[in-house]
Structure 1
Amino acid sequence: MPKTKCAIIGSGNIGTDLMIKIRETSAHLELAVVIGIDPESEGLARARSLGIATSHDGIDGARMLPEWQEVRIVFDATSAKAHAYHNDICRMDGKYMVDLTPAAIGPYCVPVVNMEDHLDQQNVNMVTCGGQATIPMVYAVRRVSQALPYAEIVASVSSRSAGPGTRANLDEFTRTTKKGVEVIGGAKRGKAIIILNPAEPPMIMRDTVYTLSEGAEETEIAESVAAMVQEVQAYVPGYRLKQEVQFERFGHNSPLNIPGYGMFSGVKTSIFLEVEGAGHYLPPYAGNLDIMTSAGLATAERLAIKHFGAAA
């Protein structure tokens, strides 16, 4: 069965990592075009060395390439601002989009939670690297609870792994991740914080998830979290708990007062994660690249299987 041809818009850290992943690991996708705006970028140079068609004139230049006509799935690894234009072009040209920016034009997609719900959509949004790492944990708590009044995530990544596109998207990162925590994770209220850590040597990606839940026992939550970690590891092997899940219970005789919510009785859960990258492009400290590109690749492969006859 022939592979489904795809293109990547963006030749920075995310796009280059994704290019290597597709070339080295994908059973269903063939990378036909890599698109950038800097003719001297390392990503475009690497693509050319591999015999992949390139454009340094953005998506408009790519449309002039004969290879563009055969592309069925397009990854966008640029910026939230640029994605709106890219999506308009791809919609007009009849191509599916996997959006790795925080633009959130299409529905949010976290593979282990809701990927199958959105495979008929022309555009699916992969939230953010922090969202891909933490939303599965929020959902793991929510699925065994009666209610999840609040969830907060803190994503800490090495500043070395944050390229210009990531830095330009920091405001969109916090807004999109917060909404993803609510829409996909199931929290009534969410909060998201990102930290670009300048430590040398670079630190591995670390994520902390705090939830306040009602109607679940600590053992149920711990089991649900452990099961979800294994599900994520199916496509991100370096995803793991840093330490055991921690709990604090607030009884009716000593409730917690949450501003904007009121008095809370239930369980506070603290989940500590780290994500080690596969090292396809940047070294393993760049788990933020790995979890984002791995999630996008997993989603695109399911699109290829469903819509273009790729063998399951």
Structure 2
Amino acid sequence: MSLAADATSTSLDVVEPAAVAVIGTGAIGQDLISKIHRSRVLDCRLVAGRNPGSAGLRHAERFGYPTSADGIDAVMAAASAFDVVFDATNAASHPHHWRLLEPLGTLVVDLTPSRVGQMVVPTVTGLAAATRRNINLISCGGQASIPVVHALATGFPVAYVEVVSTVASEVAGRATRLNLDEYVATTEHAVTTFSGVPDVKAILNISPAVPPATFRTAVHARIPGADPAAVRAAVDRAAERVRSFAPGYAVTACAVVDDRVTVTVQVTADSDILPRYAGNLDIINSAAIMVAEQRAARLGRTARTEAGR
């Protein structure tokens, strides 16, 4: 089975939706809530934050979901363990959250650059390959760049990789700014892991431009003897796979000059709540929902098997 098929072949015919909770009520958390609401196999049972007056809690209440300002304590106090917990807080908080959740058998989907769990990029790793109960989605720049970097490293002798992402200041919240060092370290680690290239650099630009800049990521690679047509074909195949779950993912430039390859991708958000320029949040959240729906499908298959005994 191809990686693309593996990443998107989840059966959504489940017996009962998976019970999920969201920790974190910033822009990422709000978009997650909307995406969970659209899913027929995920049932949001709790949205937990720290600020009782946050827009994220009000957003969840509009959907009729239970909310709490007690953060992880509210998750731990629930009457029964959740099937999936999305951690949309920050890299410093995630290790503590994981220590509490690990004994419960819950799948934890980490949207922070904590580097604690198993790294997943849907079209590169597939979803069935996720064997641990703590799944780390690296960073928005990692989700946007690694499919391209992996495609290049699979077909060509890549000697150096630089990944430069630009996000609009308006959607770079407090957690993003607190996580800048972790973002860089985790993205670089993931790019090396999935490409085999040791010489890697990651950069995140937070742009104050007006109107806000649409999320984009430029991949710069050094590939001796690169053939432009072959490079473009590999990049286009990788992008097509990503569009299976993030339809706003587009290659806007692909150039080869001597041994230097530059590929630029732009991601526009497909969201009920995010502005279109917030593709950085949309791509990582879309990956998170895919991971959770895979979990729901597995729980459904188990339930059908048990019901048939």
Same fold by TM-score greater than 0.5 = yes
Please report how far the alpha carbon of residue 216 of structure 1 lies from its aligned counterpart in structure 2 after TM superposition: 5.3
Please report how far the alpha carbon of residue 310 of structure 1 lies from its aligned counterpart in structure 2 after TM superposition: 8.3
- Aligned pair partner of 2:150 in 126, 135, 139: 139
The range that moved more, 196-205 or 300-309, is 300-309
Asked if the contact 2:166/2:204 (under 8 Å) is kept, the reply is yes
Deviation string 1:61-104 (CA, Å, 9 cap, x unpaired) is: 232233xx151111100000000011111102221111100001
- Aligned pair partner of 2:75 in 62, 87, 100: 62
Q: 1:184 to 1:306 in 2, by over 3 A?
A: farther
- Aligned pair partner of 2:279 in 287, 296, 299: 287
Q: Which residue of 1 aligns with 2:180?
A: 170
- Is residue 2:197 matched to residue 1:210? no
Q: Which residue of 1 aligns with 2:288?
A: 296
Distance in 1 between the 2:268 and 2:35 partners? 15
Distance in 2 between the 1:186 and 1:137 partners? 13
Q: 1:139 to 1:310 in 2, by over 3 A?
A: farther
Distance in 1 between the 2:36 and 2:196 partners? 32
Q: Which residue of 2 aligns with 1:120?
A: 131
Distance in 2 between the 1:139 and 1:84 partners? 28
Deviation string 1:251-284 (CA, Å, 9 cap, x unpaired) is: xxxxxxxxxxxxxxxx321101111111322210
- Is residue 2:34 matched to residue 1:20? yes
Please report how far the alpha carbon of residue 51 of structure 1 lies from its aligned counterpart in structure 2 after TM superposition: 1.6
Distance in 2 between the 1:210 and 1:301 partners? 33
Q: Secondary structure at the match of 2:64?
A: coil
Asked if the contact 1:118/1:124 (under 8 Å) is kept, the reply is no
Asked if the contact 2:17/2:43 (under 8 Å) is kept, the reply is yes
Unmatched 5+ stretches in structure 1: 250-266
Instruction: State the one-letter code of the partner of 1:294.
Output: S
Instruction: State the one-letter code of the partner of 1:247.
Output: V
The range that moved more, 113-122 or 180-189, is 113-122
- Aligned pair partner of 1:227 in 217, 237, 257: 237
Distance in 1 between the 2:81 and 2:301 partners? 15
Distance in 1 between the 2:118 and 2:78 partners? 30
Asked if the contact 1:141/1:225 (under 8 Å) is kept, the reply is yes
Percent identity between the aligned chains? 36
1:69-88 → structure 2 map (5 Å cutoff):
69-88=80-99
Instruction: State the one-letter code of the partner of 2:35.
Output: K
Distance in 1 between the 2:295 and 2:194 partners? 20
Please report how far the alpha carbon of residue 308 of structure 1 lies from its aligned counterpart in structure 2 after TM superposition: 4.5
Please report how far the alpha carbon of residue 220 of structure 1 lies from its aligned counterpart in structure 2 after TM superposition: 2.1
Asked if the contact 1:157/1:196 (under 8 Å) is kept, the reply is yes
Asked if the contact 1:4/1:310 (under 8 Å) is kept, the reply is no
1:84-103 → structure 2 map (5 Å cutoff):
84-103=95-114
- TM-score, normalised to structure 2's length? 0.89
User: C-alpha root-mean-square deviation of aligned residues, in Å?
Assistant: 1.7
Q: Which residue of 2 aligns with 1:200?
A: 210
Distance in 1 between the 2:23 and 2:112 partners? 11
Distance in 2 between the 1:117 and 1:65 partners? 29
Q: 1:82 to 1:204 in 2, by over 3 A?
A: same
Distance in 1 between the 2:283 and 2:26 partners? 16
Distance in 2 between the 1:21 and 1:210 partners? 32
- Aligned pair partner of 1:181 in 191, 198, 203: 191
Distance in 2 between the 1:279 and 1:104 partners? 27
- TM-score, normalised to structure 1's length? 0.88
Q: Secondary structure at the match of 2:155?
A: coil
Asked if the contact 2:27/2:173 (under 8 Å) is kept, the reply is yes
Deviation string 1:118-147 (CA, Å, 9 cap, x unpaired) is: 4220101000001101111101101112x3
Distance in 2 between the 1:46 and 1:117 partners? 32
Please report how far the alpha carbon of residue 15 of structure 1 lies from its aligned counterpart in structure 2 after TM superposition: 0.7
Please report how far the alpha carbon of residue 198 of structure 1 lies from its aligned counterpart in structure 2 after TM superposition: 0.3
Instruction: State the one-letter code of the partner of 2:234.
Output: S
Asked if the contact 2:252/2:265 (under 8 Å) is kept, the reply is yes
Unmatched 5+ stretches in structure 2: 1-14, 304-309
The count of corresponding residues between Structure 1 and Structure 2 is 289
Q: 1:32 to 1:185 in 2, by over 3 A?
A: farther
Asked if the contact 1:32/1:53 (under 8 Å) is kept, the reply is yes
